[in-house]
Amino acid sequence: MESFLQQLINGISLGSIYALVALGYTMVYGVLRLINFAHGDVYMLGAYFGFYLSRILQGRTPYHLLDAALVMFLSMLGCAICGLLMERFAYRPVRRASRLTMLIIAIGLSLLIENAGQLIFGANPKFFPQLIPESHIKLGGLMLTNQQVIVLLTAVTLMILLNLFIYRSRTGKAMRAVSFNMDAAKLMGIDTDRIIALTFALGSALAAAGGILVSINIPGIDPLMGVMTGLKAFVAAVLGGIGNIFGAVLGGLILGLAEVMVAGYGSSTYRDAIAFLILIVILLFKPAGLLGKGAVEKV
């Protein structure tokens, strides 16, 4: 029982990271109907921003948590800027072209970032500095690390903030309008280019947060780390119903739990396979995803 609970927490923790990355896929899909295949690489960039910033910032403030928060915030900002650049220079010029063109650009951009990453950061894995010294927390029979708790709390907080932004703010409303009908949104006086750029920035910032949270738990980072996580987060977004933000969170959690359970009770050889098994099943039986098409609001 305790080991099950332990697995459950690990699964939710992993799932919340998939969810953070999946949100970026789903938000961009919502406004542009584009699968941004370079999104996983932004997650990788986030981890590297975190890596270099940690070296500069670690120990600069009296508290480890404040160091970590600063690293996190600046990395998110860095990735938001990367997202803006990507949108402006890779996707905006081809927005009127066919979807296939956009898709090819996305794949090319992804390869470009991965290879540039290997060139600039080196192809070998780097060790992500320990921003917060590990300590153990005993909860009944459960053994948690403080890092697990921080990862989970941060991910949940970010998702709540995103939700408030999308459903409560004027700009969030504009974003929902754009995702529903771009021309109608323009008629309302909404600068849709700005909203699209903002969507990329937000999604990229969340991916950066994911990259850093993962690196806090599993400190090895490399320039191709975004490939597998990107694919899995994409599966999570499709599973939940791409374009639907609640779907992305749900899909991420299901995927994280499934993966941890398979590794825990089955064989860890299959932990990566489960994502693709889920993808095949969902495409066969519910191609619109769990919450897709009309069930809940799209963003």
Point out which residues bind another protein (CB under 8 A).
170, 173-174, 176-177, 180-181, 183-192, 297-298
**Spatial CB neighbours of 219, under 8 Å, sequence gap ≥ 6:** 127, 128, 129, 130
Query: Pick from 106, 121, 107: which is nearest to 221 by CA?
Result: 121
Nearer to another protein, 134 or 191 (CB): 191
In the block, tokens 């599966």 appear at 235
Nearer to another protein, 172 or 251 (CB): 172
Smallest gap from residue 100 Cβ to another protein (A): 17
Smallest gap from residue 298 Cβ to another protein (A): 6
Cα–Cα distance, 15 to 155 (Å, whole number): 10
Torsion on CA atoms 62, 16, 153, 82, rounded to nearest 10: 40
Give yes or no for a contact between 252 and 17, defined as CB atoms under 8 angstroms apart: yes
Give Cα separations from 49 to 4, 37, 184, 209, 215 (angstroms).
35, 20, 38, 10, 11
Cα–Cα distance, 24 to 80 (Å, whole number): 11
Cα–Cα distance, 16 to 291 (Å, whole number): 18
3-state secondary structure of 237: helix
Smallest gap from residue 90 Cβ to another protein (A): 21
Nearer to another protein, 157 or 169 (CB): 169
Nearer to another protein, 176 or 232 (CB): 176
Tokens for 48? 């590297």
Smallest gap from residue 22 Cβ to another protein (A): 20
Smallest gap from residue 179 Cβ to another protein (A): 9
Give Cα separations from 266 to 3, 19, 219, 251, 257 (angstroms).
14, 23, 25, 21, 13
Nearer to another protein, 112 or 188 (CB): 188
Give yes or no for a contact between 228 and 49, defined as CB atoms under 8 angstroms apart: no
Nearer to another protein, 173 or 271 (CB): 173
Smallest gap from residue 10 Cβ to another protein (A): 35
Cα–Cα distance, 59 to 163 (Å, whole number): 33
Nearer to another protein, 38 or 299 (CB): 299
Nearer to another protein, 46 or 289 (CB): 289
Exposed/middle/buried for residue 295 (C-beta within 10 Å: 0-12, 13-18, 19+): middle
β-strand partners of 3: none
Smallest gap from residue 111 Cβ to another protein (A): 32
Smallest gap from residue 20 Cβ to another protein (A): 23
